[in-house]
Structure formats: structure tokens, C-alpha cells
Amino acid sequence: MSRTVALTLAVLASWAALASQIRAEPLDLGLPRELDPSKFELFWFDDFDKFDLSADGFGRHKWFNGLWYSKPAPLDLFSHSDGILRLATRANKGALISTLSPKVGGHETAFSYGYFEARLALSANAANWPAFWLFSRDHARGTDGNHWCEIDIFELFASKFAGTVHEWIDFKNKQNRNNLVTLPQGTDLSQWHTYGMTWEPGKVTWYFDKKELMSAATPKICDSQELFLILNANTHDPAVEQFLSVDWIAVFRWKP
Ligand SMILES: [Ca+2]
């Protein structure tokens, strides 16, 4: 076997191994053990078998590129195949998808109490700063009097799981102090894991691989606003390109 052929086969084998490791799986409707499945119903999900993105902010789509205050990311920072969406960064740009159109009057999907979960795989380095979060529709639409709620379901921050509740008043932030958790030793974030959170009146609880991590109280403002979903790739170091792959996102709510 020539050296080139051997090398090619080795590269193909490593690609195949990588592909098998981060293969898409059917949506897993399992809830954390602490949650009684008979009390929940699936309210909204995306398994990314298709990627329904509005690139220009118009139309009735599941996802929109960018937020109302930012420019859409270059489309080559998004890639989609085999049921997996991959978001990437380049220099100081990062791909971001949101369930709220950045255009005033545009389509939007917003949420209140429930269990939110994403199956994610991401670059495992300390500069990576991906985020899966919920943000106030009223603030995005300018109707909140600059008093709003933000709940971060998961951010990787200095290689820790960050889960944060923010109350913003006139752009000043109050948040829970217990928001950084060290993940179990040996956790490989480049492989698939689930990142979840329940949100109920006055309280949120975070989960990693369906195991409880921590809880925090939520301020009253979070009980009076609906929040939309955002998933984005980001980096603390523009010289390091990052990726964030998503297999699915699911939102359950308590049955009425
Ligand atoms: Ca999928």
C-alpha cells in the first residue's frame, strides 16, 4: 500500500469514526428523572431534519439569522447535513439563530414555563463561548420600559457550565451568583450531551445529561414576560474558530 493511499484510508477512517460519534439520533423524549413525564407535553421542537432559516428576517420561519440589534451572520457560518446543524465562528463573527424575527412585526415564537433541552456537541477549549438561551420578547420589541428577563439555559464559560438568570433594569444587571458549575471530570464536550432547564414560577433548575446541576430563584419580571430561544456560536479568542453542533432542541410544557 502506498503511503498516500494509507494516509487517505487513515483520514477516511478517522472521518467515519468522527461521523459515527456525532451522528444524529431520533428526538429523545426522555425527561430528567425528577420530572413526572405524565405531567408534561411536547410543545415545540426542531430535530433539524430540515433547517428552516429566514436569512433576511422576513417570512414565517422557525429560525431567524441574528438579532434585532446585530447584522445577520455570513451564511457560510451555518452548515446543515444528516439532521445536524453546525454553527461556527470566524474572527469575531459567530452564527446565531433565534425564534424571533429581527424585523418589527415579523414572525416570532416565544415561550413561558416548561422544560427546555438541546442535544449539543461543541469545540472543547477554554476560549469557546457557545450559548443556548432565552431572552425577553418585550425587550426585543421595545415594549418593556427597559425592564426585562433573560434566562441562560447553557453557556460554556471558562470550560464551566454557566446557567444564569438575569434581571435587567435600565441596562443594569442583577443575576444569580451560583451560575458556574464544573462539569464531571473527563466530560468530553465535543461529544453529544443534553443541556436542559426547567422554568416554573419563581424558579429555574438546570440539568446536564438529564442530571440536576443547580437551581436559582427568578425575579418577578420573568413571570410576566415571554421569552424567545437563541442558539449561538461565539468565542473569547477571535483567533480560535469554534463550532457548535445541534441535533435537536425540544420544549416541553406542563399539561394544562
Ligand atoms: Ca437531528
| CATH code for the domain of 155 | 2.60.120.200
pLDDT (0 to 100) of residue 5:
47
Can you give the pTM of this predicted structure?
Answer: 0.90
DSSP state, residue 74:
P
Structural domain of residue 175, as residue ranges? 3-254
Predicted local confidence at residue 13, as pLDDT: 42
Check residue 75 and report its DSSP letter.
G
pLDDT at 137 over 50: yes
Looking at the predicted structure, is the pLDDT value of residue 61 above 70?
yes
- % of the chain exceeding 90 in pLDDT: 84
The Cα-based distances of 154 to 194, 244, 247 in angstroms read 10, 12, 16
Q: How many domains are contained in the chain?
A: 1
Question: What mean pLDDT is predicted for residues 22-36?
Answer: 81
* Distance from Cα 118 to the centre of ligand 1, integer Å: 10
Alpha carbons 225 and 193: distance in angstroms, whole number: 29
Q: How far is the CA of 249 from the centre of ligand 1 (A)?
A: 9
| Whether the predicted pLDDT of 19 surpasses 70 | no
pLDDT of 56: 87
pLDDT band at 21 (very low <50, low <70, confident <90, very high): low
195 C-alpha vs ligand 1 centroid, how far in Å? Answer: 15
Ligand 1 centroid to Cα of residue 89, in Å, is: 21
Q: What is the pLDDT of residues 62-100, one digit of tens each?
A: 999 999 999 899 999 999 999 999 999 999 999 999 999
Task: State residue 207's pLDDT score.
Answer: 97
Grid-cell match 433573560, residue found: 150
* DSSP-assigned states of every residue in 100-148: B-SSTT--B-EE-SEEEEEEEEE--STTB--EEEEEEHHHHTT-STTEE
According to the model, what pLDDT value does residue 9 have? 45
Per-residue pLDDT at 197 exceeds 60: yes
Distance 84 CA to ligand 1 centre (A): 5
CA 252 to mean position of chain CA atoms? 15
Compute the distance from residue 244 Cα to the ligand 1 centre, in Å: 13
Side chain identity at 188, as an amino acid letter? D
Average pLDDT of every residue of the chain: 91
pLDDT value at 12 more than 70 = no
> Which of 248, 253, 9 is CA-nearest to residue 119?
248
| Rounded distance from Cα 223 to ligand 1 centre (Å) | 31
